[in-house]
A and B are shown apart, each in its own frame.
Chain A
Amino acid sequence: MKKLITLIVNKRAFEVAVEPNRTLAQVLREDLGFLGTKVGCGIGDCGACTVVVDGRPVNSCLVLAVQVNGSEITTIEGVSEGAELHPVQEAFVEYGAIQCGFCTSGMILSAKTLLDRNSNPSEPEIRAALSGNLCRCTGYQKIVEAVHAAAGMMKK
């Protein structure tokens, strides 16, 4: 039986009727149209589906939508301010931290959450914070450099 739930996605409230077996990733993509959230492995190994729920990045493929009824969710679509990119997004572009782009939404959300809590992370701290997000293109070096640069940009 469908349940009526409220999700506050990128500061906007959505009321949606969902079957209990639908994951947050499915509801975001298929019901609400937030296609920036990617689904890779579907079992919590790759991090492509990362979204921020109540301030913490999680694998949205392993969360039931009904479990986060009433929660505040940030997807990649909620990171920029209108046309203005967030410093993490800007740095990813500038440092070539994006290749195929499939991991990028998750990478940026994990990186942004790290910088919101720790404005001056060390390289091991950056690598640890991104260790649930797999990238098969970049070899990670450029991503780590981009996060480091974003930290510098955010301090200014």
Chain B
Amino acid sequence: MHLLPKFDYYEPRDIGEACKLLSQLKGSARIIAGGTDLLVNMKKGLLAPRSLVGIGKIPGISEIEPVNGGISIGAHLIIQKLVEFDLIRKKLSVLSRAASVLGSPLVRNRATIGGNIVNARPAADLPPPLIAMGARVRLKSRRQEREVPLDRFFRGPGETVIKPGEILTHIVIDALPPFTGGDYIKLMHRRSLEIAIVAVASRITLDGPDGVIRDGRIILSSVAPKAIRAVRAEKALIGERPSEGLFEHAGQIAATECTPIDDIRGGAGYRCSMVGVLTKRTLSGALREAKGQ
């Protein structure tokens, strides 16, 4: 049976106290939110923090709130609520879709959006749609508060720009322009409890219901050390009239922008090919949503 190593447990009542604890405990403490990643790693002996700081009792970091037409999401919100909440389903359906294929229902009832971000796994489900929609993360420490665009947050597997003593408290997404749509497709060997072979999130903003593409984003997941933007494929979309041919072309470019590895889930060559396919499909899905269909 897997047993957890011993540790001290702290339960701060607010963010200020949590930041203070983290800076006092220096590098020996880890934050525990849902625990669905952290406790597995501790049980497997990969991590043995001397202290855990539980943030579940801190008010104000488990809610979804509309802010100036945009949305603010507390880092401690459980993933299942992204699937259930009307505001997310309607305004950020791409995020709901990604949340609905994360782990299993039992995992989604504990795992948090903040945990899925800060663990910085290359195949994490929520960063791609969040980056596609221009999300920023709010980081608080004892002395300051800063916001970082999510596409500049990750450095590599398990590595982020978060500093010791900082806590991710909110994910902020500004109001999206009209005629914007998104889509996320995760290629899996099975439908539940699965890590992506390849996943792609796309977003399109049109300049009118039948207009040209004003803004486009393509985020590739599980094909590089972190979720990456297919920058050249994105550029190929701007100013163009959407069409099957254009999306096919963007997919071909995106397939050359990834650097996957061979592993148990799939070979590098297969993954590149699937980047092309999923890029085209997600762009088509994003277009349908942008047109309100």
Contacts and interface: CB of A to CB of B under 8 A. Distances in A.
A110 interface: yes
B105 A132 contact: yes
B238 interface: no
Contact of A59 (B1, B54, B110): B110
B35 A63 contact: yes
Contacts of B26: none
A1 B192 CA distance: 38
A88 to B, nearest CB: 16
Interface in A59-80: 59, 61-64, 66-67
Contacts of B103: 44, 132
B117 interface: no
Given A20-B8, A56-B109, A132-B106, A42 B1 contact: yes
Interface stretch (B37-45, B127-135, B216-224): B37-45
Contacts of B40: 43-44, 62
B5 interface: yes
Given A21-B6, A57-B106, A67-B32, A62 B192 contact: no
Contact of A47 (B3, B44, B56, B106): B106
Contacts of B54: 64, 66-67
A64 B193 contact: no
A58 B109 CA distance: 6
Interface in B20-73: 32, 35-36, 39-40, 43-44, 52, 54, 56
A138 B32 CA distance: 36
Contacts of A10: none
Contacts of A39: 1
B163 interface: no
Contact of B56 (A3, A21, A67): A67
B11 interface: yes
Contact of A131 (B9, B44, B56, B192): B192
B85 interface: no
A128 B103 CA distance: 11
B187 interface: no
Contacts of B32: 64, 67
Given A3-B9, A47-B104, A64-B32, A132 B1 contact: no
A50 interface: yes
B87 interface: no
Contact of A43 (B5, B8, B43, B110): B43
Nearest to B3: A21
B110 A132 contact: no
A23 interface: yes
A31 interface: no
A63 B105 contact: no
A57 B109 contact: yes
Contact of A62 (B1, B36, B52, B56): B36
B175 interface: no
Interface in A4-61: 19-23, 39, 42-45, 47, 50, 53, 56-59, 61
B191 A44 contact: no
Contacts of A53: 109
Contact of B110 (A45, A63, A110): A63
A64 B106 contact: no
A42 B104 CA distance: 15
Contact of A129 (B3, B5, B56, B105): B105
A53 B110 CA distance: 10
A57 B109 CA distance: 7
Contacts of B236: none
A53 B4 CA distance: 21
Nearest to B109: A56
Contacts of A61: 2
18 contacts: A1-B8, A21-B4, A21-B6, A21-B7, A44-B36, A44-B39, A45-B193, A47-B106, A56-B78, A58-B109, A58-B110, A64-B35, A64-B52, A67-B35, A131-B192, A132-B106, A132-B192, A132-B193
Interface of A: 1, 3, 19-23, 39, 42-45, 47, 50, 53, 56-59, 61-64, 66-67, 110, 128-129, 131-133
